Chain A
Amino acid sequence: MSPALDSTVPGTSGAWVTARPTRAREIAQRLVRLPQLVLANRDLVLTTLRRDLSSRFQGTLFGWAWPVFQPLFLFTVYYFIFTEFFQARMPDLPDSQKAGMGVYMFCGMIAWAALAESLARGTGVIVDNGNLIKKLAFPAELLPLNVVLASLTMMLFSLGIFLLVATFTPVWPHPGWQLLWLPVLLVVQGFFIYGCVLLLSTLQVFLRDTAQIVAMVVTVWMFATPIFWVPELLGERIANYLPLIHANPAFHMAAAWRGTLMGDVTIPLTDAAHPELARVLTPVSIAAIPEHLGMFALWALALYVLGYSFFVLSQRRFADEV
C-alpha cells in the first residue's frame, strides 16, 4: 500500500469530504506541506519531469545535444551582436572588457528564459491536462510544478555552458565565491516561477483569455526588464522611471543572477567624460547580491502564497471547468 495516495487523494483517509469551501487553515497547511507532498509523490514528479524533458527532444536528430547547443548559440549571438555591432551604447568600453556586455546580457537571459518559458508553457498546463484532472485523482499542483522543474532543468544546461565558457575562455574572469549563492538563488527562482505559473494556470481555467494576455505581457515585461540594457547607463533619461524599474521583480532576479554568476567584477572605466560609466558593472558584485536576492525572495514568497492559495481555493472546480 502506497502512502502517497492516502495523503493526497480526497476521501481515501476515511475523513468526510464535504461541500464546504476550503478553509484558510487548510490553505496554510498546503502551503507549508508542499515539500512533503513532493517527497511523497517523488516518483510521479520525477517520471513526469523525465517524460516532459525527453519528449521535447524525442525524435529530433540531435536529441540531448539541443539543450547544450541552444544556450551556446545564444551566448555566441549576444557576444557578437552586443560587443561588435552595438557598440554605440558603450563607446568607451575597453577592448579587454568588451565581452562584459555579452556576459551581462547572457546572465540576464538565462534567468529570464526560465521564467518566460515557464509562463508560456505553464499557463495552459491545467486546461491542457484536463483529461487527467477529470479522470485521475492526483495532486494537480504537480502539473505546474512539472513545468517549473523542466524549465529549471533546461536552465541548468545554460548555467553549465556559462560556467564552462567562463572557466575555459578568456572572455570573462573566473566566477568567484559568489557562486555559493547559486543553490539559494535556484530555490528562490523556482518558487517565484511556481507562484506565477500556479496563479496563471488557475486563472486560465476560468478565463481562457489569460494565455493571450500572458503572451503579450511577457514580451513587454522582457523589454521593461534590464536584460538587454543597463539602467545605470541611461542615467538621467530614466531617472523618473527608477522606482518603477525597482518595483519589477524581474529586475531583482536579473541583478541577483548577475551578481552570483559574474562575481566580484569591477570594470575600470578610464573615460572621465562619462563618469557614470564607472557604475556600470561595479554594482554587479557582492554587495548587491543580498539586497537583490532578498527582494527577489520576498517577491517569490508573496507570489507563491498568492498563487498557491488561489490554486487551492479554485481546485475543487477544476474538473468541472476544463
Chain B
Amino acid sequence: MSYALEAEKLGKAYRVYAKPLRRVGEWLSFGRYKGHHEFWALRGVDLALKPGSSLGLCGANGAGKSTLLKVLAGTTAPTEGRYRVRGRVASLLELGAGFHMDFTGRQNIILNGVMMGFTRRELLAKTPEIIDFAELGSYIDEPVRTYSSGMGLRLGFAIAASVDPEVLIIDEVFAVGDMYFQKKCVDRIYTFKQRNKTIVFCSHSLYDVRQFCDQALWLERGEPRAIGDSVFVTNEYAAFQRQHIGQVAEAVRGEHPPVPGVESMRPEDMPSVLDARIYRLGTDEECYQVQSGDSIELRVWWKNPLPEKHPIQIGIAFMRGDMTTCGGSATHFQKVELKGTQGCLVLKAPNLALLAGQFLIPVVLFDKEGVHRYQDYLMPQNLLVRAYTRDIGLFRLDLSFEQRELAPPAARPRGPAAQGA
C-alpha cells in the first residue's frame, strides 16, 4: 500500500536570536558559538495517510497546527524527521496570498494561478469557471482593491479550488466569510474527498473536523497528544479543553442568592455538604469516566444540625464547561424530604444520554423553598463522558433512519405555492 502522505518523526524548530549581533557572532565563529535558542513548534509527528483519507488537526492556538501544515505544504523545511507526498500538492494556507491590489480580478487569477504552478493556458481555460464560482460578475474586471473582503476571499478560494491536486492542505481559511460562502467551500472540499483526494485540514471547529475527516491529530505544544479516529480524538480534545476552563467553578457560585441572615449563623449550625461522589449504578465502584449510555449514580453526604429550624433541599446539575446547564434535578422538584441531622442522598442516572464532554457537577444546598442557598458545593472531580457515535448536540436522542416507499402527500389546500407543483 502506498501512502499519499507520510511523515516520520517530523519536527520543526525556530531559531530565536535575542539580538541580531548574536547571529553575526555565530557566522564569524563558524558555528562554534551558539547565539540562539531553539523553539520547537512541532516535534515527533508520524503520519501515514492513504489516498482518499482525510486528517483533521485540532489543538489550541500555538499548538503547531499551522506549522505542520506549512511543513507539509513545502513552504518551510523540517528541522528533523522527514516527510513525502505523492502527487501534486496544493495548499490553501491563506486565501488571496499574492494578490496584487491594483490589478483586476481577472489579472489576479492569472497571477495567483501561475504562482501555484499553473500555466497561463490552463488558467485562461479555467477563468470562466473561477469567475462563476467566486460569483463576482462584472466586478472581475475591477481592481481587487475595490473588492469587499468577502469578495477577495471568494476569488482566492475559487482560484485555489480550481487546482486539482492529489493532496490538499487547508488551513482554517473559510472560517472567515459568510455562511453561504462557507457552505460553498465545504461543498467543494467534499467533492475533493469524493474523488479520492487526500486532505489535511486544520480547524478550530471540532464539528468540521469530525465531519470532514476520518482521522484526527490533536497537537499540544507541538507534540501529538492523540491521533486516530476523528470522533475519538475530537472527544478527547473537547474533554481536555473543558477541563481547562478553570474559572467555571467560580461562576457556578452566585447563581442563587444566599439565605438571608446566613452570615450571622454559627458555623456549627450551618447545613453543609460533606462529600459527593459518582459510582456505577448499583455498585460501589467509583467512576468519573463513562461512556454515553452508561448508568451511574451520584451520592451526596450532607449534614444539617438543626433540621427543624433550617429545613433543606438539595439540587444537583450537570454543567458543561461553557456554563450550559445540561440537566439536573432537585429534591423539592421531586418532593423528597431530607429528614434528620445527616444522610446520604443518591441521584440515579440510568442510561446517561449525555454526549461527549466534561461535565461539572454543582451540588447546591437550598433552603426549604429552594430559592436561597446555604452552600454551593462543586463535586471535586468532573464527569468525563465519551461518545463513540457521530451524533451531535448535548444529548443522544433516540434517533434512527428508515426509508419507505411513500408518495408525497397531496398539497395542502392553502399551503404555500412552493409545495411541489
Chain A contacts to B: CB under 8 angstroms? 1-2, 4-6, 8-12, 14-19, 41, 43-44, 46-48, 51, 55, 58-59, 131-138, 206-209, 316-320
Contact = CB atoms under 8 A, between A and B. Distances in A.
A41 B116 CA distance: 10
Interface stretch (B46-54, B82-90, B394-402): B82-90
A33 to B, nearest CB: 17
Contact of B15 (A134, A319, A320): A320
Contact of A19 (B74, B78, B91, B122): B78
A268 to B, nearest CB: 54
Interface residues of B, number: 45
A207 B118 CA distance: 34
Contacts of A11: 72, 74, 83-85, 89
A14 B3 CA distance: 10
26 contacts: A4-B117, A5-B88, A5-B116, A9-B89, A9-B117, A12-B87, A14-B87, A17-B77, A17-B78, A19-B78, A41-B114, A44-B114, A47-B110, A48-B114, A51-B111, A55-B102, A59-B102, A131-B98, A136-B98, A137-B75, A138-B116, A316-B76, A317-B15, A319-B70, A319-B75, A319-B77
A44 B77 contact: no
A6 B119 CA distance: 13
The 9 closest A-B CB pairs, nearest first, are: A5-B117, A316-B77, A135-B97, A319-B76, A137-B74, A18-B82, A44-B114, A43-B120, A11-B85
Nearest to A59: B102
B80 interface: yes
B60 interface: no
Nearest to A20: B82
Contacts of B110: 47
B119 A4 contact: yes
A14 B76 contact: no
A51 B116 contact: no
Interface string B11-31: 100110000100110000000
B117 A16 contact: no
A199 B408 CA distance: 73
Given A6-B88, A19-B81, A43 B119 contact: yes
B84 to A, nearest CB: 5
B98 A10 contact: no
Interface centre among A2, A132, A135 (most CB of B within 10 A): A135
A138 B117 contact: yes
A184 B20 CA distance: 41
Contact of B85 (A12, A55, A131): A12
B114 A43 contact: yes
B83 A17 contact: yes
Contacts of A208: 20
Interface in B54-105: 70, 72-89, 91, 93-94, 97-98, 100, 102-103
Given A17-B77, A207-B20, 9 more contacts: A2-B122, A4-B117, A11-B84, A17-B78, A51-B111, A134-B93, A135-B97, A135-B98, A317-B15
Contact of B115 (A46, A138, A316): A138
A136 B15 contact: no
A47 B114 contact: yes
B97 A136 contact: yes
Contact of A137 (B23, B73, B84, B118): B73
Contacts of A132: 97-98, 115
B88 A58 contact: no
B51 to A, nearest CB: 13
Given A1-B88, A8-B117, A11-B85, A135 B74 contact: no
Nearest to A45: B114
A135 B119 CA distance: 19
